[in-house]
Structure 1
Amino acid sequence: MKKEENIKVGISIGDLNGIGAEIVLKTFEDPRMLEFCTPVIFASIKTMTFLKNHFKINVNLNGIQSADKIIPQKINVWNVWNDHVKIQFGKEDTKVGEFAIRSLEAATKALKEGNVDVLVTAPINKHNIQSDTFKFPGHTDYLAQELEGNSLMLMVADSLRVGLLTDHVPIKDIASHITPKLIKEKIETIYHSLQMDFKIRKPKIAVLGINPHTGDNGVIGVEDDKVLRPTLEAIKKTGKLVFGPYAADSFFGSNNYTNFDAIIASYHDQGLIPFKTLSFGQGVNYTAGLNKVRTSPDHGTAFEIAGKNVADNSSFKEAVFKALEIFKNRIEFEEITKNPLKFNQKKI
């Protein structure tokens, strides 16, 4: 297994008018972080130097042009552009959006080619990144195309893990998106991720209903009875510990969520509102189901406080640690899968 400090963490810088660069630099201002990994920021040394001076953050940056120049236990800045970037904190700017995408594309390429081991993404603005060549509602959808596997948005904070059947889908379209095929795919993805990424041998998964009170026997919609419930029953017969559908309004307030290794919500706000209420600032957005590890903080660009040097980097730091943990868990899982007898003998 790689030594911790040699695990290379690729970082896409996000929207430069937001808080992304600030939380990245604040995270690695703590020199102890370099004992855990080697950061590689995809931006430009000129831009990052301006930002570290603006925020008066005491870090040393190592500008590089290629993977062979990465120095372990240094903050490496991979020069993706040489252009001058006009930074206007708190402003939505399509030009700045272009730099965010250039950073993301370069970081993803490095990840695919093995030049970095994991990817941690700083927040982007979903509106100003849109162009003729980039038409994705966010990181997850782009990475699902670029990396192999079936992606699933999984929000993580300690033992609380909330996944989504549908993520960036308008409310009016949710019911039509939830099909038996989708349900089976998402549960398979989260089940395998819990085993491989979180070392849970026999995961216990709860699924939240689509309609209020899971439809009240058809009074408030039939999707839970006709689609969700029978599909979950079929999955149970395969031996997976899958339970539900549960009425979402009381599930978290009753602490029922503590009885499960993961919860799958039917749609974005149904899962993320309780998750962020319970864990905001400490949560991590993890894209499960892909052949590479990607995490991000659980918040957005926070334009309203950008440039003021008041952003809290806790969630970004957690995202780095979670990426490292999952990376190491995957290596161990692969070793166990290849030689289970040897692993069992080690445990005795």
Structure 2
Amino acid sequence: MKTKSNIRVGISIGDMNGIGPEIILKSLQDSRILELFTPVIFANSKMMSFFGNYFKIKLQFHGISSADEAVEGKINVVNVWKENVKVNFGEEDKKIGGYAIKSLKAATQALIKKDIDTLVTAPINKNSIQSNEFNFPGHTDFLAQELKGDSLMFMVSDNIKVGLLTDHVPVKDVSSKINEELISKKVSAIHESLKKDFNVREPKIAVLGINPHSGDGGVIGKEDDEVIKPAIKKFVENGKFVFGPYAADSFFGSKNNANFDAIIAAYHDQGLIPFKTLSFGKGVNFTAGLNRIRTSPDHGTAFDIAGKGIAESSSFTQAIFMGISIFKNRMEYLELTKNPL
């Protein structure tokens, strides 16, 4: 029987030709962590033993057929497949990508059924995962389909939190994707997440401009004046602390980000370049806005160092504990806000 102190953390294996298996093992090698949570890896117990031997990280794995069989005090491995799989570190391989998706789908179903409390996803390769059965640019879009709510890529660390209006969208299409409805949806998701997932009572949110210098009054584009400002005005009229649009080039250098609980960037690189510069190795990718909790490290498969035993696991470890913290905060929030009658 699961207790509040026995949080089940599901882990999808990611691309096995990348650094995913290594950082998972390194994050679990301290036996004391089993007192804090119960790991449930979605892969194959023989494969996990192979990785343990390869990286000289001796761990004991408890093979199970489904997540609801997970045992406290053990590193549980749900055997998603039975066959042996040949791994070639550093290589892009559609077959390996297929196993990454098998792991992700099994973990997501366990999350939906509440057999696990949170999900941490190891990195995948966006090319290797594409198939007739899986046609998503990444984890976030797939989870948005499978789980309830409006997903939002929310990059978080102890010192900075950055959300995106658009994520995996070509730069040439960014401005056409952004409208008042999208801004309203994304800002609302950030606002709600800050309150229930991070215990921020009155969130202060900054919105970055789409164009250089936020358009310079229309000289360098009209989107900031015609789309972003009216959307922000509606939040202010409803009593929310939402400010902007701010010129992105000077916002982080001036440390203005320290004045806000979260920043919303217009597109991927506008938000992730400063975030990773300030928080690399300590940052976590959290999919906010959904009815279940998913986190991941702030980096990719790192094929160039895969199999060399030198991958840094700090971001993956942080993703595990960030997920646990968010789960606890969300349970507390639900308890405090539920109708006593």
Structure 2 counterparts to residues 297-308 of structure 1, below 5 A? 297-308=297-308
Give the RMSD, CA atoms, in angstroms: 1.2
Give the aligned residue type for 1:212: P
Q: Please state if 1:132 is matched with 2:103.
A: no
Identity of aligned residues (%): 64
Distance (Å, rounded) in 2 between the aligned partners of 1:86 and 1:338: 50
Task: Give the corresponding residue for 1:241.
Answer: 241
Structure 1 residue 328: Cα displacement: 0.5
Structure 2 counterparts to residues 324-339 of structure 1, below 5 A? 324-338=324-338
Confirm or deny: 8 A CA contact 2:199 2:329 kept in the other structure: yes
Q: Please state if 1:289 is matched with 2:289.
A: yes
Distance (Å, rounded) in 1 between the aligned partners of 2:39 and 2:338: 30
Give the aligned residue type for 2:296: S
Task: Give the corresponding residue for 1:211.
Answer: 211
Partner SS for 1:21: helix
Task: Give the corresponding residue for 2:26.
Answer: 26
Partner SS for 1:197: helix
Give the aligned residue type for 1:100: A
Structure 1 residue 73: Cα displacement: 1.8
Distance (Å, rounded) in 1 between the aligned partners of 2:159 and 2:255: 13
Structure 1 residue 2: Cα displacement: 3.6
Structure 1 residue 69: Cα displacement: 2.5
Partner SS for 1:90: coil
Partner SS for 2:136: coil
Give the aligned residue type for 1:221: G
Q: Please state if 1:49 is matched with 2:49.
A: yes
Partner SS for 1:123: coil
Partner SS for 1:287: strand
Task: Give the corresponding residue for 2:176.
Answer: 176
Structure 1 residue 60: Cα displacement: 0.9
Structure 2 counterparts to residues 1-348 of structure 1, below 5 A? 2-4=3-5, 6-338=6-338
Distance (Å, rounded) in 2 between the aligned partners of 1:162 and 1:304: 27
Confirm or deny: 8 A CA contact 2:40 2:67 kept in the other structure: no
Runs of 4+ in 1 over 6 A off after TM superposition: none
Distance (Å, rounded) in 2 between the aligned partners of 1:339 and 1:204: 27
With the length of structure 1 as denominator, give the TM-score of the two structures.
0.96
Give the aligned residue type for 2:313: N
Distance (Å, rounded) in 1 between the aligned partners of 2:32 and 2:175: 47
Distance (Å, rounded) in 2 between the aligned partners of 1:33 and 1:124: 25
Give the aligned residue type for 1:293: I
Distance (Å, rounded) in 2 between the aligned partners of 1:96 and 1:173: 31
Distance (Å, rounded) in 2 between the aligned partners of 1:139 and 1:76: 23
Give the aligned residue type for 2:172: K
Distance (Å, rounded) in 1 between the aligned partners of 2:340 and 2:313: 39
Distance (Å, rounded) in 2 between the aligned partners of 1:127 and 1:20: 16
Distance (Å, rounded) in 1 between the aligned partners of 2:68 and 2:141: 30
Structure 1 residue 67: Cα displacement: 3.1
Give the aligned residue type for 1:184: S
Structure 1 residue 340: Cα displacement: 7.9
Structure 1 residue 66: Cα displacement: 2.1
Structure 1 residue 339: Cα displacement: 5.4
Structure 1 residue 42: Cα displacement: 0.2
Distance (Å, rounded) in 2 between the aligned partners of 1:87 and 1:8: 28
Give the aligned residue type for 1:186: K
Partner SS for 1:305: coil
Distance (Å, rounded) in 2 between the aligned partners of 1:270 and 1:32: 39
Distance (Å, rounded) in 1 between the aligned partners of 2:269 and 2:3: 38
Q: How many residues align?
A: 340
Distance (Å, rounded) in 2 between the aligned partners of 1:149 and 1:3: 24
